Structure 1
Amino acid sequence: MVPTIATSTGPVLVVGSGLLGASIGLGLRHLGVDVHVRDSSPTTEAVAQDIGAGRSVRAARAAHEEVPEPALVVVAAPPDVVAELVVEALAEHTDAVVLDIASVKGPILDAVRAAGADLTRYVGTHPMAGREKSGPVAARGELFTSMPWVICPGPETGARAVAAAKNLAVDLGATITVMEPVEHDETVALISHLPQVMSSLLASRLQETPPHHLSLAGQGLRDTTRIAGSDPGLWVQILSANARPVVASLHEVREDIDRLIATLENPEASGARLDIAQLMAEGNAGQARIPGKHGGAPRAFATLTVAVDDTPGQIARLLTEIGEIGVNLEDMRLEHSPGQPVGLVTASVEPSRHAELVDELQQRGWKVVQ
């Protein structure tokens, strides 16, 4: 892939060498782009250089090498320092386009505007990608492939800045969505920040739970608490910066919880069971609107569950054989039977291939749970 004009006509400086910053560096270096990385932590910056995400600014200066003037500066720092770093970059690199990739957009734009910086060369963006691991050692050049990358120009943003942001996203394989900053913040409050809060609140209920009770936990608890393992320090910054729309969503959730509590306090009352069913059905309706892997409206797939011995290589063998059969996996989930040396792989496939896949796997010796 040949990089587009925004990243091929001049060097790129990535400020912040954590997971996302280093992943951007890796992706651009793979395309042959000249990338320098800078981080407040010398160690993090050095690790980013060691993995190939770009040349360390510190190392270059220590070797008395010239650090070329960037055409594009990507600020990939924690949310609470992004605005300050954007303002610094605009002042230091007077011809460069500067963009940030923080998960909140409105407050950063307001702070940059209040500082009197040149907003024509600045645009806020948000790649909707990440991993449960953090730091440059977790970086992947393909992290953004097929993932949404939201671009949020303000009223003062120039066409050159918007084009640079779009080209960067395209270079890294992302799909572009353009939103106003306020619309973005309200959207991520519901689809990203609220799920984090709900997962953390649920997981917090488990702190005093006896271990032998937790041993009964199934995949439902694991699914709903998976993201509760996220970095608390980062989420303090995100929730503080986007508090208003998050609070609005929490008020709506509180109304539903109050409604359910009132119903369950008298479950034999007239209409109580109907109200419970209605609440569950509303959840069904909302969940059904989440797009499938191909985007757009979700599609209905057939599922099958295969019992897999909990030994090295078994899942890889199962996936290989499904590929040999010629069936495409639309989704897959793995869960373990507590205390048992077996795992359960639930696969989603096109309904027209379901029966064929079940028959083929059984013939190959796999135990398909119908």
Structure 2
Amino acid sequence: MNPSHLNGPVLVLGSGLLGASIGLGLRAHGLDVVLSDPSPSAQAVAVDIGAGRAFDDAENLSPELVVVAAPPDVTAAVVAGALQRYPAAVVVDIASVKVAIARELEDILGSGSELLHRYVGTHPMAGREKSGPVAARSELFNSMPWVLCPSEASSKHAVKVAHSLAIDLDAVVFRFTPDEHDAAVALVSHLPQLMSSLVASRLQETPAHALSLAGNGLRDVTRIAASDPALWVQILGANAPKLLELMQGVRADLDRLINTLSAPTAPGARLDLAQLMAEGNAGQTRIPGKHGGPAQQYSWLTVLVDDKPGQIAKLLTEIGDIGVNVEDLRLDHSAGVQVGMVELSVVPSKRLSLVEDLTERGWKVIL
């Protein structure tokens, strides 16, 4: 057990996926974690999985830290209540929008309130399509970004405690202003969610025989469309100003594409389509690569495996024996055939030798 950067106790207000995962992660450091949730059943499940002990209103609790893991539309009110009830505690929230919450909190407490010295807005960039405490994982935040968004009122001590929380959960800490944060997440999180949902909505009336042709491309694009609608209504509404700027740009691109495809053989049409695709290529290469470092182009190969237990493990073991590191992996299935297709990403210099070695070992490799 590694020592914690916090002393505790830590009070977590909200025992959903993120709140329970925080509790599990802090409990792994031996910290006293107390859980409180408006839903008795959610709180009970979080306690049962070991995320902390149940809050007892009769206890004279004096937490070092209060983590507000409440829905965005009530976060400011819950933060204000915690700051008033626990005068010695640093209070952080983990909501995915920051500007709207900061403004609402100032409206509740007053912009010059000394209570704001003990508050830091934060946002762990982690989650799952599943929700609730049953989906919680102690390692949910491992190597994931955790953004600190202190205000001018936040004290150095409060920022240090918020930083310690992220470090204890093995997250990678970033520091943004609330406005910078909301602009960034609008692009890297909220816009992808909307685009995924829009594409997935096109599938509602699609004939089943057409969907049988679906591959990883469609699955990759629509994966996050399975997210919780109720939560996203709050997030998108709270960050609407930043998101609108991006959506207007997307609308302009769609109008351009529609006009081009309306006359695909007209002079310049093919050039415009190629340019649009090239712009996408250029943007995609700017996404940070493995371990957050510079983006790197890898080479892909596909290996066919029998659709039965142990085949993927056997393949990866043999690749390890060959001495090649797999940078990424995707799994697909051939429609109507009991065969899996394992798509492997490796550094370009290793691709040809890996193909030869796997072929010699009896694997069928598709280039």
Q: Quick one: distance in 2 between partners of 1:67 and 1:324?
A: 58
**1:147 alignment counterpart:** 144
**2:95 alignment counterpart:** 102
The equivalences for 1:4-23 within 5 A come to 4=5, 7-8=6-7, 10-23=8-21
Q: Quick one: distance in 2 between partners of 1:354 and 1:307?
A: 16
**2:255 alignment counterpart:** 258
**1:243 alignment counterpart:** 240
**1:304 alignment counterpart:** 301
**1:49 alignment counterpart:** 47
Asked if residue 114 in structure 1 is aligned to residue 113 in structure 2, the reply is no
Of 31, 34, 47, the residue aligned with 2:32 is 34
Q: 1:274 deviation in Å? A: 0.8
**2:352 alignment counterpart:** 355
Q: Quick one: distance in 2 between partners of 1:236 and 1:272?
A: 38
Q: 1:67 deviation in Å? A: 5.3
Of 327, 330, 351, the residue aligned with 2:327 is 330
Q: Quick one: distance in 2 between partners of 1:201 and 1:136?
A: 28
What's the RMSD between the two structures over aligned residues? Answer: 1.3
Equivalenced residue count is 362
**1:71 alignment counterpart:** 64
Q: 1:154 deviation in Å? A: 1.0
Letter aligned with residue 87 of structure 2: T
**1:156 alignment counterpart:** 153
The equivalences for 1:112-261 within 5 A come to 112-116=105-109, 118-261=115-258
Q: 1:340 deviation in Å? A: 1.3
Letter aligned with residue 336 of structure 2: G
Q: Quick one: distance in 1 between partners of 2:95 and 2:11?
A: 16
Q: Quick one: distance in 1 between partners of 2:289 and 2:174?
A: 17
Letter aligned with residue 197 of structure 1: L
Q: Quick one: distance in 2 between partners of 1:214 and 1:153?
A: 47
Q: Quick one: distance in 1 between partners of 2:302 and 2:333?
A: 12
Q: Quick one: distance in 1 between partners of 2:126 and 2:120?
A: 18
Q: Quick one: distance in 1 between partners of 2:320 and 2:47?
A: 37
**1:84 alignment counterpart:** 77
Q: Quick one: distance in 2 between partners of 1:16 and 1:320?
A: 41
Instruction: Report % sequence identity.
Output: 63
Deviation string for 1:150-180 (max 9, x for gaps)?
Answer: 0001111111111111111111111111000
Q: Quick one: distance in 1 between partners of 2:239 and 2:229?
A: 15
DSSP-derived class of the 1:303 partner: strand
DSSP-derived class of the 2:148 partner: strand
DSSP-derived class of the 2:204 partner: coil
Deviation string for 1:289-341 (max 9, x for gaps)?
Answer: 11112223211222221111111222222222222333221111111111111
Structure 1 pair 121–282 and aligned structure 2 pair: CA distance change class (3 A): same
Q: Quick one: distance in 2 between partners of 1:266 and 1:350?
A: 40
**Structure 2-normalised TM-score?**
0.96
Structure 1 pair 67–307 and aligned structure 2 pair: CA distance change class (3 A): farther
Q: Quick one: distance in 2 between partners of 1:350 and 1:263?
A: 37
Q: 1:87 deviation in Å? A: 0.5
Letter aligned with residue 12 of structure 2: V
Unpaired runs of at least 5, structure 1: none
Q: Quick one: distance in 2 between partners of 1:78 and 1:332?
A: 34
Deviation string for 1:114-171 (max 9, x for gaps)?
Answer: 1115111001000001111111111111111111000001111111111111111111
DSSP-derived class of the 1:115 partner: helix
**2:3 alignment counterpart:** 2
DSSP-derived class of the 2:341 partner: strand
Moved more, 310-319 or 125-134: 310-319
DSSP-derived class of the 2:100 partner: helix
Structure 1 pair 67–29 and aligned structure 2 pair: CA distance change class (3 A): farther
Structure 1 pair 67–321 and aligned structure 2 pair: CA distance change class (3 A): farther
Q: Quick one: distance in 2 between partners of 1:201 and 1:53?
A: 36
**Structure 1-normalised TM-score?**
0.95
Letter aligned with residue 171 of structure 2: A
DSSP-derived class of the 2:292 partner: coil
Q: Quick one: distance in 1 between partners of 2:42 and 2:346?
A: 42
Q: 1:107 deviation in Å? A: 0.5
Q: Quick one: distance in 2 between partners of 1:242 and 1:17?
A: 24
Q: Quick one: distance in 1 between partners of 2:226 and 2:141?
A: 22
The equivalences for 1:261-276 within 5 A come to 261-276=258-273
